[in-house]
Amino acid sequence: MKEKLSQVRCQFIEQVSSVNITQLLDGLLKDRVFNYEEKDSVMEDHTKRARARSLLDMVISKGNSASEKMIGHLERIDPILCSDLGLSCNQSAQPATPPPGALSGSGTAACTVEEFWKAKQSDSSVYSVTKASYRSRVALLITNIEFSHEARRNGAEKDEEKMEKLLKNLGYEVVRHRNCTGQEINNALTDFTDHPKLKETDSVVVVIMSHGKLGAVLGVNWKDGDDDPDEFPINNIFTLLGPEKCPKLVNKPKVIIIQACRGGYHHAYAP
Active-site residues, by number, are 211, 261
- Contact present, 28 and 73 (Cβ < 8 Å): yes
Pick the closest to residue 142 from 187, 178, 193 (CA basis).
178
Q: C-alpha distances in angstroms, 90 versus 70, 79, 83, 97, 267?
A: 12, 15, 14, 11, 53
Q: Produce one character per residue of 30-63: b if its CB has 16 or more CB atoms within 10 Å, e if not.
A: ebebbeeebbeebeeeeebeebbbbbbebbbebe
Select from 171, 132, 152, 148 the least CA-distant residue to 222. Answer: 148
Q: What is the DSSP letter of 260?
A: E
Return the axis-axis angle of helices 36-43 and 48-61, rounded to nearest 10°: 150
| Contact criterion met (CB below 8 Å) for 153 and 211 | yes
The helix or strand, by DSSP H or E, that contains position 206, with its residue range, turns out to be strand 204-213
| Cα angle for residues 100, 105, 109 (degrees, 5° grid) | 35
> In DSSP terms, which residues pair with 173 in a beta bridge?
138
The H or E element that residue 141 is part of is strand 138-143
Question: For 86-193, where are the alpha helices, taking DSSP H only?
Answer: 113-121, 131-134, 156-169, 182-192
